[in-house]
Structure 1
């Protein structure tokens, strides 16, 4: 069974370190606060409780889908089976999925220099999953109390994992709760490094939001896990902030407008006029763009365009892959690209487009 919550989380006070955090004080000590959680009565170690999963939006449903379809163990003996036993490993579990759509996308907070507010949202996500109370509808005057608390929390957002998992772990420790917190980064890193032999060289590329890239979460986790796995090869890590891609997937008018047929003033994506996200006319032929159906907007003609703007998800993917490959190619002693991590839960919905574009760019 799955319970999906699309909620508006209250409040906007800035927070700092977890030990001096006013929101945490409200949760743990102020019993007249909406956020108060009586941890002394928390049903610890109850296997019947649900697994909680949260993301900034519905992209995290891709993570939930993987969990629901996972079949790597024998459900009777609990032993690992590479081909599974034909039964989903979590067939007897149920899940509560929280999509914080009121405050999405989490990946933009670092660009606005507002990671403190993002950390607050992450703590509120955690509090919601741990608590029993919720509002079924916006207009409800009083909360309900029939939601089960969770036994485990999966942070299905790369940015939230990179920016806030340590805070969530610290909160659990301070609250005295034995609730396991699992971040998405460690699982992705493990999968990427499993592709390397002990002495193999190569490159791991990370396509992520600006917030995840700025956090340095993936390079740090890759380096740490590489040492733990005793891999001896030269493994390079390159990150590409997929600015505009998640917005285009969500249909944000700042990045995409299917009805447009000419360059738009409100556009904030890559362009030959955008110095922060340059679309380089000097290598225009290298981008595997789809030029039909107004997927690219520009003035002039295709051979000599100006005010060039991307207007499809497919072309955002093409742009960011070429930008990534350019960075790898022009680095000192580049290594072959071995793995590409789609480190935003929006991106896997377009995994086939990524594969197609990588095939087109394989001889780059």
Structure 2
């Protein structure tokens, strides 16, 4: 249970204001009391505690309540204490059932009160140790008014944003969420927020189909002819990658052809016929042959081999030793 003055020349106090709580430390609601009021804390018959503002004249003295049984609240003046620099008289007042039961009542100032610690020589600290420029955090605690740090505040994080959407139907991606150092933002040399402003996490779904891809073309093969106009071809395969998981096959052809030109072809020229060979028989009818060659090894048209019937002298049949032989008329066998 604490009270304090809000501004230097305003004689009013700020009290915790709760009813029926079990623990005074759990009370977080405050109320600004009037100039003729003070803070009080009182335990009720059921053991619960009430806190709030009370008129000073309601703080009773035991002498005035001799016929009313034990008194739970008394009034007393509290001398000026540390941190209470705006009081010029012993007017820090409290209602309490026993002496010194709440001696820390006047030892804390409200956050909105910019008051220097009266036990610290701020001018000396600034001159010797440059506290106003070298240690803003410490200076804001003990010499906020002297150092001009009444609005000093460290930055605090805002709440995290929602995670970004998982915008894929298969495979994986990364989700992101952000926060800002704006709750409040750092002011007057206050510290920036500590920690990360962005968080990431993975969003993983099932594997995606793999569409096929073409490999590189092979080198062109040799021309199909040794001279004149021919054809060359090259090939490629659908294995870069091979389609899988119902992925699409490669579009296009796996074979490519082009015209190739060889050396100019020479026209073939026949050589002269060679002489006829001898007749295949010595009498009667036989066969004889002749040959010719095609220059430049190209087609010359026509045969390179020729045959004809040859007739040698007439023959007679003679039976010798039971065998029939042909004998020419001139007597040659």
Q: What TM-score results when the alignment is normalised by the length of structure 2?
A: 0.24
Q: Which has the larger radius of gyration?
A: 2
- Structure of higher RCO (CA pairs closer than 8 Å, 6+ residues apart): 1
Q: Which protein has the bigger strand share?
A: 2
